[in-house]
Structure 1
Amino acid sequence: MRETQRIADQLRRAFDGDAWSGPSLHTTLAGITAAQAAAHPLPGVHSIGELVRHLTTWAGTVAWRVEQRQSTPLTQEDWPAFAAAPDESAWQQARQELQSAHQRLVAAAEALPDDALEARVLQEDGAEVSLYVVLHGSAQHYLYHAGQIALLRKFL
């Protein structure tokens, strides 16, 4: 098995598979309503909906960087707003956009030849990192925010 296939497997596990660390992002989001997604149970903390929109931005950005093997500035806002009073269809659309961005990221990872994993891209802070690090970081990013979502659920 190629290394990029192994990385794609880790992305899948973190997003909607059997993550070693605990529930996947998809599992953590299961059963959350639009009202819960928009709620701010803790002052100054992002809502679940905002976290989903943020994850969508980054899955899409990383997918583009992997596909092009180069840096690109964010094409969307880092923390897009989520409606204060969304209906269920808006919430489901946000979840579908995240699913689509994730699928694009996995496809980009699988299409990448192993020898391209050392290609460097520029981060927002000016540091250069390899695509290897960016792809693993994406799986870590999913699980980091899944943990935040799990905590927010407890406050709802």
Structure 2
Amino acid sequence: MSTAQKLQQELENVLSGDAWYGSPVYNIIAQVSFEAAYERPPNHAHSIAEIVLHMLGWTEEVIRRMQGHTAAEPPGGDWPDAGTPDEHKWKTLVNDLKLMNVELIGVIENFPEEKWNTPINDTRNCELGTGVSYEALIRGLIQHHIYHSAQISLLNRIVG
């Protein structure tokens, strides 16, 4: 099995498959009502909608890095404001996250096998996740998705 196939399978399991740790990302998000998505939790924590926007932005940024762009924060910012509660907007946001991950899977499928272990075009910065190999970049995003899906699950229990 190629590196691309392994990473694609791992990402798909985390998003919608048989994740080892429990419910996959999309199942967790499907349990969130739009009202709960925009509810502001105690202590000024991010709302579920803001977390999904954050996940969407970083997925987009990883795609940009895979395409050779210099690492930066996501084009829309690290923690974009989710705005006012809106059911249509929430459904669109969830669909956008799914579409961005479909795009990422396409990038993974077409990435040259010989480049997976080469460093991305940047120096190491732990906060930005730069200076790692392309394979580590994808694995880091998978971990990022898992981390934030756990937050979403907990927040949904608190505000939902």
- TM-score normalised to structure 1 length: 0.91
C-alpha distance in structure 1 between counterparts of 2:104 and 2:153, whole Å = 23
Contact 2:72 2:128 in 1 (8 A): no
Identity of aligned residues (%): 29
C-alpha distance in structure 2 between counterparts of 1:73 and 1:155, whole Å = 33
Once the two structures are TM-superposed, the CA of residue 104 in structure 1 deviates from its matched residue by 0.9
State the AA in 2 paired with 1:154: R
Mark the runs of 5 or more structure 2 residues left unpaired by the alignment: none
State how 1:1-156 maps to structure 2 within 5 Å: 1-66=1-66, 68-74=67-73, 75-83=75-83, 85-121=84-120, 122=122, 123=125, 125=128, 127-156=130-159
- CA-atom RMSD in angstroms: 1.6
C-alpha distance in structure 1 between counterparts of 2:70 and 2:119, whole Å = 8
Contact 1:69 1:119 in 2 (8 A): no
- TM-score normalised to structure 2 length: 0.89
C-alpha distance in structure 2 between counterparts of 1:129 and 1:62, whole Å = 12
C-alpha distance in structure 2 between counterparts of 1:91 and 1:14, whole Å = 21
C-alpha distance in structure 2 between counterparts of 1:79 and 1:52, whole Å = 10
